[in-house]
Structure 1
Amino acid sequence: MKIAIARQKYTPFGGAERFVEHALAGLRAQSVEVTVIAREWTGDAAGILQCNPFYLGRTWRDVGFAHGVQQIIAAGRFDLVQSHERIPGCHVFRAGDGVHATWLELRDQARGGIARFLTGRSPWHTYTKDAEAAMFRHPDLRAVICNSNMVRDDIARRFGVAADKLHVVHNGVDLDYFHPGLRDEHRRRVRAELGIAADAPLILFVGSGFERKGVPGLLRALAAMERKDAQLVVVGKDRDQKLAEKIAQTLGVDARVRFLGGQQDVRPYYGAADMFCLPTLYDPMPNAALEAFACGLPVVTSTTCGAAELIEEGKNGFVCNALDAAALARHMTMLADDGNRRLAAGMGEAARRSVEHLDLTTMAQAITDLYRRLLGLQP
C-alpha cells in the first residue's frame, strides 16, 4: 500500500505535519509506504517527491502545484493521496484551515466598507474558493478530516458533502509538555522580566496574524475593562504589528500591552498568565487554545472559533461574538476580579480536564484508524 501526503511547503515541525506524522508511524509498521509530495521542504529529502513547477505570484503557484499533484494522482502511483491544499481530485482532505469562503465572509464583515468588492476582485481568492468548491464536490473525494464540529457542519451545509465522509479528529495536545505546573515554574520570573506586578491580572494572547486572530478587538476590550491594572501579553508574529501598537496607543493602553513577537517556547507565558483570550474572527481549532486549556487557564474565545465547542460557559471559559468588545471586556473583568479568585481557580482546573481526552496518542489512533479503513487494512 502506498500513501502520499500533498503539502506545498513541508516542514516536520508544522502543525499539520505533526498531526499526520503521529498517525503515519502506525501505518509504516504495517508496511505502508508513505511519500510526501512537496514543492519545498525542511530536513531530510528521504520520502519526498518534489513537485515544483515554475510560477509567478501566489495564484500561479497554487494552480501549478495543484495541476502537478493531479497528474501524480492520475498516474495511479498511490493508493491514497491526502492533501493539505485545496486540490480537486484528492482522496482525503484535511481541512485544518477550515473553509476559505467562510473566512472571507467573516473578514469582510469585520472590515466593512468596500472589503467584499475588493475580495471579489482578487484572482487568488477567486481561485481558492473555486478550487475549494470543486474539491469538496469531486466524486473521488473519500474523506475530509475536520478538526472541529464547526468546520464539519460548515462543509456539510455549504458544499453538501455526505456525513459519512466528514470525520472530526480534534488536534492533539502534549499534556506532559503543557501543564498547570508551569505556573509555579515561570510565573514570578516572567512577570518580573516584563515588569508586571505579581497581583496584576495578566491576559495572554498567542497567535500569528493579528487581524484574523482578533487583536484589535482584544485591545478595545482591554481599554473597556474595569480593572485598569490588567496587563496584556501578545505572543506571535504579524507584519502589521506597528498598526496594532498604534491602536493600543490610540486607546491609551500601550503601557499595559507587551508585544513579544514570535517565541520559540511559549510555555513560560502560559505559566505567567491568569487567562487566555483569543477573540478570533475565524479559527477552526487553534492549538494555542488547547495548550492554554492544558496549562489550566480559563479561555475566552469567539463563536467563530472551533475551541468554543470545548467551553462550558462559566465553568472553563467564556464565548462571545468576536466583534463584541464589551462582552469580551465583561468576561475578562470577571476573571480578573479579586473576589472571583476561587472561581477562576476552579475554572482553571476545569480547563485542564476539558482537554485531557485530546492527548496525542488518542489523536494519532483516530487518524490511523481512518487511514486503515480507507485502505482496507485490518485494525
Structure 2
Amino acid sequence: MKKIILIRPKIGFGLGGAETMGAILTTKFLDYGYEVGIIATKINFPQDILDKISFYPIKIKGRGSILKYWLFLKQAMRILKIIDYDYLVSPFRFPGSDLLILCDPLQRFWIEQKPENFVVKKLNFLRPRYRFLLNVEKESIESAKKIIALFRMGKELISQYYPQTYSKTFICNLGLDFNRFNPELKQNKAKLKTEFGFSHEDYLILFTGYNPRRKGLPLLLGLMNELPENVKLLIAGVNGKSTNRIIYLGKIGKIEKYYVISDLVVLPTYYDPGAMVTLEALASGSPVITSIFDGSKEFIKEGINGFVTNLEKGDLKNKILQAMDISFDPYICSQTIQQLTWDNYVRCVINILSGI
C-alpha cells in the first residue's frame, strides 16, 4: 500500500475552501486504497477518518504570518526526513513536493492585480513579506515534479509567469458535493425568503467571501445606490453594520440556504484561482456574475447561467441589470457543471500522481 503525505497548515472540513479540498483528498485517497498521513498545525475530520490517518502535528509559536510560515516550512521539512512515504502532495506552497496543487493565489500575479496604484504595486515587490512569498512560490513551483492547476486560467498564468514549468502542469477541475448543492433546493425559495424576513418583491443579491477586498466587495457596495430599490445585498463571511438594503450575515454554516433564496450571486473578484462560490451557486441553481479573473469563469455561459464582468463599474452594473431581466432556469444552471464531481477530480489527481 503506497503512502501519501498531504501538507498544509490546516486540513479539514469547515476550515476553508482549500482546507476542505485537502480533507476531501484525504478521504478519497483512503477510499482508493492509499495510506494517508497529514502534516499540519490543525486538522478537522470525523473520528472514523481520524482513526485511519497518520497525523504529524506541527506546533508553532510566534507572531507574524511570515514567521509562522517559515517555522512551518522548517518543521515540516524535519518531519519529512524521518518518516517513510511514497508521494508528497501539497495543496500549499511547499518546496520539493511530488505534486503541487495550485489552490492558493499565484503571488506573482496577485501583487500586480491588487487594487492599488502603480507605485504601491512596484514597492510590494521590494517588501520583505512579498519577497519571501515570491521566493517560496518560485522554489515550490520549480522544484515540484508535477503541478496541478484547478482551471485553465491557472495553467495560463503558469505559462505567463513560470513558462519553464508549463510542460509539467496539468488541469484537474475541482469537484462539488451535489447532495449538498443542488437545484431541488430552489423549491423552498419562497418559503425560506419569508422565513428570513424578505418579501416576494425583494431581489436578493448574494456576496460571499472571507477576503472582501480581494473578492471585490467595495466595488459591489459602490453600485447599490445605482440599482433598483428592490435590490438587497446579502453579505456572507463578513461582519459589518447592516442597513435596510445591505445585510451583513457574518460567518454562516449553511451557505446553501442563502444560495436558495438568492436571485443572483455576484463575485467581482480581482483574483480567484477557482472560486468555489461560483461553482456552489451554479450547482444550487443560482445564476452567477463573476469576473474575468476567476478561474471558474470558464463554466459561465452568458445569459444562460450568468455573466462575466471585466470589473469596470459600468460593466458590472449593466450585467446585474441584464441578469435581473432574465428568468434563469435553476436546473440549466446546475447542469452546466454536472461533470465537476469529487470522484472525477481525485481520479485526475491519482492519474497524474501515478505517472511520477
Q: Distance in 2 between matches of 1:77 and 1:36?
A: 12
Q: 1:113 to 1:58 in 2, by over 3 A?
A: same
- Hey, what does 2:116 align to over in structure 1? 111
Residue 206 (1) aligns with residue 208 (2): yes
Counterpart secondary structure, 1:304: coil
- Matches of 1:202 and 1:40 in 2, distance apart? 36
Q: CA deviation at 1:5?
A: 0.9
Alignment of 1:92-171 (within 5 A): 92-107=99-114, 110-112=115-117, 114-116=119-121, 119-120=124-125, 122-138=127-143, 141-171=144-174
Q: Secondary structure at the match of 2:5?
A: strand
3-state DSSP of counterpart to 1:358: coil
Query: Quick check: 2:263–2:286 contact (8 Å CA) kept in 1?
Result: yes
1:23–1:368 Cα contact (<8 Å) kept: no
Tell me the equivalent position of 2:314. Answer: 326
2:306 aligned with 1:345, yes or no?
no
Instruction: Write the deviation string for residues 77-98 of structure 1: whole angstroms up to 9, x where unpaired.
Output: 3222122332222221111013
What does residue 91 of structure 2 align with? Answer: 84
1:272 aligns with: 261
Question: Please, which moves more after superposition, 206-215 or 196-205?
Answer: 196-205
* CA displacement, residues 251-288 of structure 1 (integer Å, 9 cap, x when unaligned): xxx42111111110011211111111100111111111
Instruction: Select 1:287's aligned residue among 252, 255, 276.
Output: 276
User: How many angstroms does 1:26 deviate by?
Assistant: 5.4
1:9–1:39 contact (8 Å) kept in structure 2: yes
SS at match of 1:285: coil
Instruction: Identify the match of residue 188 of structure 1 among 187, 190, 200.
Output: 190
C-alpha distance in 1 between matches for 2:81 and 2:263: 53
Secondary structure of 2:85 counterpart: coil
Quick one: distance in 2 between partners of 1:129 and 1:13? 28
Mapped contact 1:70–1:87 kept (Cα < 8 A): no
Q: One-letter code of the match for 2:233? A: L
AA at the equivalent of 1:215: L
Aligned to 2:231: 230
Query: 1:229/1:17 Cα in 2 relative to 1: closer, same or farther (>3 Å)?
Result: closer
Counterpart residue identity of residue 177, structure 1? R
What's the secondary structure of 1:284's corresponding residue? coil
Match for 1:39: what amino acid?
Answer: T
Pairwise CA distance, 1:354: 1.1
Match of 2:36 in 1: 34
Structure-1 residue corresponding to 2:337: 355
Residue 366 (str. 1) matches residue 354 (str. 2): no
Asked if the contact 2:201–2:230 (Cα under 8 Å) also holds between the matched residues in 1, the reply is no
Query: CA separation in 2, counterparts of 1:12 and 1:192?
Result: 30
* Residue number among 197, 214, 217 corresponding to 1:215 in the alignment: 217
Q: Is the 8 A contact 2:300 2:307 kept in 1?
A: yes
Moved more, 97-106 or 19-28: 19-28
Change (3 A) 1:369 1:113: closer
C-alpha change, 1:12 and 1:203, in structure 2 (3 Å) is closer
Unaligned runs of at least 5 residues, structure 1 = 246-253, 375-379
Q: Is the 8 A contact 2:99 2:148 kept in 1?
A: yes
Q: Which amino acid aligns with 2:187?
A: D
8 Å CA contact retained: 1:297, 1:351 = yes
Once the two structures are TM-superposed, the CA of residue 181 in structure 1 deviates from its matched residue by 2.1
- Measure, in 2, the Cα distance between the counterparts of 1:331 and 1:53: 46
In the superposition, relative to structure 1, how do residues 18 and 161 fare at CA in structure 2: closer, same or farther (>3 Å)?
farther
CA distance in 2, matches of 1:87, 1:27: 20
Query: TM-score, normalised on structure 1?
Result: 0.84
Distance in 2 separating the partners of 1:304 and 1:26: 29
Q: 1:114 to 1:74 in 2, by over 3 A?
A: same
Q: What is the identity, as a one-letter code, of the residue corresponding to 1:228?
A: E
Aligned partners of 1:124 and 1:27: how far apart in 2?
A: 35
Q: Which runs of 5+ in 2 are unaligned?
A: none
Amino acid at match of 1:101: R
Paired with 2:346 and 2:313, the residues of 1 have a C-alpha distance of 37
Contact 2:282 2:337 in 1 (8 A): yes
Contact conserved, 1:23 with 1:367, CA < 8 A, in 2?
no
Q: Is the 8 A contact 1:83 1:94 kept in 2?
A: yes
Amino acid at match of 2:259: Y
- Provide the alpha-carbon RMSD of the alignment: 2.4
